[in-house]
Amino acid sequence: MGLTPILRLLLAALLLVAGGNLSAWAQAGYPQQYRDPRAYPPGYYPGKLVQPAQPQQQPGFSFRRLFTPQEEAAPPSQTRRPVVKRRKPPPAPAAVVKQEKPKPNPTTHVMVFGDSLADFASQGLDDMYSDDSDVAVVRKTKGESGLTRDAAEWPGFIRETLDSGQKASLAVVMLGANDRQSIREGEANLEPLSDRWTQVYRLRVDAVLRTFQERSIPVIWIGLPPMKNGKLSEDLVAMNEIYRESVQRLGATYVDIWQGFVDDDNRYTATGPDVDGELAKLRTNDGVSFTRAGARKLAHFAKTDIDRLLESGAAAAARPAAPAGGEAPAATSIEGAIPAPPQAAVPVALPVKPLVGPVLPLTRADLAPGGALASGAPKMTGDHAYPVQRALRAGVPPSVKPGRADDFRWPSE
């Protein structure tokens, strides 16, 4: 038997195997454009080929499975993703805002007057006295106000607040953040920090302080802090000198917070030690406002003097109440109507000025008690060494501080 009959048998077997899958092969290779009925002229389209079924794989040998990849991507029109129904997350519970309960029957009322910076002082004092049921912090602030627009605004607001029946053991004042602007005097505009501007502004500061003196209310005036803007900080130093002079002259208490918010070079810094001695962010990104840690540190400086006044009893003095109707009570008898004889004159005891006072260095930095809140003694170098510049360049001597070696004033009664 030759090779020719064997080749004929193999060829016949291949034709039989290939013939079984001929119809599936034709359908698989059917052009895609002819499967759409819109591709045929009317009357020539076989309707059974609109969506041909996928060819079923036949058992046995197949040229199509031999030369065709086993995994074929289905047309995009036939690919369907399973629809997964997602459950909506349950609504988040509403945030519970803790409301501070008013303190019942506090014996001490700390009134805070001032602008937007006084708001932070009030927040800090409220936090620091939150556990003391005897001290209530009452906020009476006006964020966009100041002393340059209306001379009678703040004295009138203070009188109206105190005369409305509001109890006040002592007052904390912080003003000046909005006062770097001209003052209108007649037809002229006084430029900020000019000589005449300084005189008029000092009179307005005095008017605020005398409003509290009329009612025998002790005052604690908080100075302005450094700002991120260098020119603004330089002007605020000059304004702090006005507050310091008026406050000390009229017998109030001045609180200097500058050293608590500068670095070792006496420059503005947004971070520093907080009331616990830990490094924290004290100022916000705008370079003006305070964070909560900064507000607590700001209030800590004032709290030291508040506690001192409370312990000494100076804040317990009540306002003298005027008799109703402005009339004196009627005498019940003739003897009561007779005025009492004048008392014998008592010699007035003059204060004794000590011969030698405490020796203090003239360049000592003003730190908090113990020096825990300041980042370090400022170096008397750099562009922001304001007292040195004013003394050596402008010829303006530094303000006198009580108890310092250059304090030659006679003690006030």
- The structure's pTM equals 0.56
Query: What pLDDT is recorded for position 411?
Result: 64
Query: What pLDDT is recorded for position 8?
Result: 77
Q: What is the mean pLDDT of each run of 10 residues along the chain (413 residues)?
A: 70 66 48 51 49 53 55 50 56 44 80 94 92 90 89 93 90 94 91 94 95 93 94 93 95 93 91 91 94 94 90 58 42 50 57 66 58 52 59 71 74 58
Query: What pLDDT is recorded for position 144?
Result: 85
CA distances from 9 to 63, 147, 152, 213 (A): 18, 117, 123, 129
Query: What pLDDT is recorded for position 289?
Result: 94
Closest by alpha carbon to 112, among 170, 64, 191, 31?
170
Kindly write down the DSSP assignment for every residue of 278-342, as one continuous string.
-EEE-B-TTSSSB-HHHHHHHHHHHHHHHHHHHHHTGGGPPPPPPPGGG-PPPPSSHHHHSPPPP
Query: What pLDDT is recorded for position 165?
Result: 86
Query: What pLDDT is recorded for position 314?
Result: 65
Total length of the chain: 413
Closest by alpha carbon to 177, among 297, 288, 261, 302?
288
Query: What pLDDT is recorded for position 63?
Result: 53
List helix spans (H) across 43-171.
Answer: 63-67, 116-128, 153-163
3-state secondary structure of 83: coil
Strand partners, 189: 184
Task: Provide the token pair at 367.
Answer: 């730190």
Query: What pLDDT is recorded for position 354?
Result: 66
Query: What pLDDT is recorded for position 64?
Result: 58
Query: What pLDDT is recorded for position 330?
Result: 43
Query: What pLDDT is recorded for position 221?
Result: 96
Query: What pLDDT is recorded for position 131?
Result: 87
Instruction: Please give the CATH number for the structural domain made up of 108-320+365-392.
Output: 3.40.50.1110
Query: What pLDDT is recorded for position 319?
Result: 43
Task: Provide the token pair at 99.
Answer: 């409301």
